[in-house]
Amino acid sequence: MRAVLRTVSRVATPDPASLGIPGSRGERSVPGADDPPPPPVRPPHSYTGRRVLLSLAVAVMGVIDLLSALLSHPPERLVALERLVPTEVLDSSRTFTLLAGSLLLVTAWGLRRGKRRAFVAALFLCALSVPVNLFKAFDVEEATVASALMFALGVSSEAFRVRSRELSFMMLRSRALWAVAGLIAYVAIGSWALEVRFGMAHSFAVAFGDAFSRLFGVGDPSDVPRHMAVAQRRLLAWYLGSLPLLALTFAVTLALASLRPARHRRRHRAEAERVERLLRGYGASSIAWFALDDDVDYFFSRNERAVIAYRFESDVVLAIGDPVGPAEELGPLLAEFAEFCRRHDWPFAFFQARPEWLRLYESFGWRALHIGEDPVLWTNRFTLDGPAVSQVRRAVRKAEAAGLTVVQSPAGEDPFEPGAGPPGFADELRAVSDDWLRDRHGGEKGFCMGRFETHRLRDVWLLAAWNPAARRVEAFTTWVPVPARLGWALDLGRRRHDGAPGAMDLLVVRAVQAARERGDAMLSLSLSALAMVAGERACDSEPQAASPAPERSREFLMQHLARFYDFKGLFRWKRRFDPAFEDRYLVYPTTLALPRVALALIRAQSPAGLRSYLPWARRSSAAGAVAASVPPGGNEPVDPAAPGAAESA
pLDDT band at 169 (very low <50, low <70, confident <90, very high): low
495's enclosing H/E stretch is strand 487-495
CA 454 to each of CA 429, 457, 458, 548: distance values in angstroms, whole numbers, following the listed order: 9, 5, 8, 46
What is residue 230's predicted lDDT score, i.e. its pLDDT? 77
**Residues with Cβ within 8 Å of residue 535, at least 6 apart in sequence:** 27, 28, 543, 581
Most confidently modeled range among 56-65, 82-91, 241-250, 421-430: 421-430
Sign of the CA dihedral running 553, 525, 611, 313: positive
C-beta separation of 487 from 515 below 8 A = yes
pLDDT band at 83 (very low <50, low <70, confident <90, very high): very low
**Residues with Cβ within 8 Å of residue 174, at least 6 apart in sequence:** none
> How far apart are the two ends of the chain, measured CA to CA in Å?
20
* Per-residue pLDDT at 56 exceeds 50: yes
**Residues with Cβ within 8 Å of residue 180, at least 6 apart in sequence:** 250
227-246 per-position pLDDT tens digit: 677 777 777 777 777 887 78
What is residue 543's predicted lDDT score, i.e. its pLDDT? 39
pLDDT band at 287 (very low <50, low <70, confident <90, very high): very high
What is residue 223's predicted lDDT score, i.e. its pLDDT? 64
Gyration radius of the chain's alpha carbons:
32
* Per-residue pLDDT at 624 exceeds 90: no
Distance of CA 88 to the CA centre of its chain: 50
18-39 per-position pLDDT tens digit: 444 443 344 454 444 444 455 5
Q: Which residue from 93, 134, 126, 131 is spatially nearest to 108, judged by alpha carbons? A: 126
Look at 129-138, 355-364, 553-562 and tell me which has the smallest mean pLDDT. Answer: 553-562
C-beta separation of 395 from 502 below 8 A = yes
pLDDT band at 551 (very low <50, low <70, confident <90, very high): low
* Per-residue pLDDT at 561 exceeds 60: no
Residue 316 CB neighbour total at 10 angstroms: 25
DSSP string of 580-638, one letter each residue: EEEEEEEEES-GGGHHHHHHHHHHHH-TT-GGGGSHHHHHHHHHTTHHHHSPPTTPPPP
What is residue 482's predicted lDDT score, i.e. its pLDDT? 97
Q: pLDDT above 90 covers what percent of the chain?
A: 40
107's enclosing H/E stretch is helix 87-112
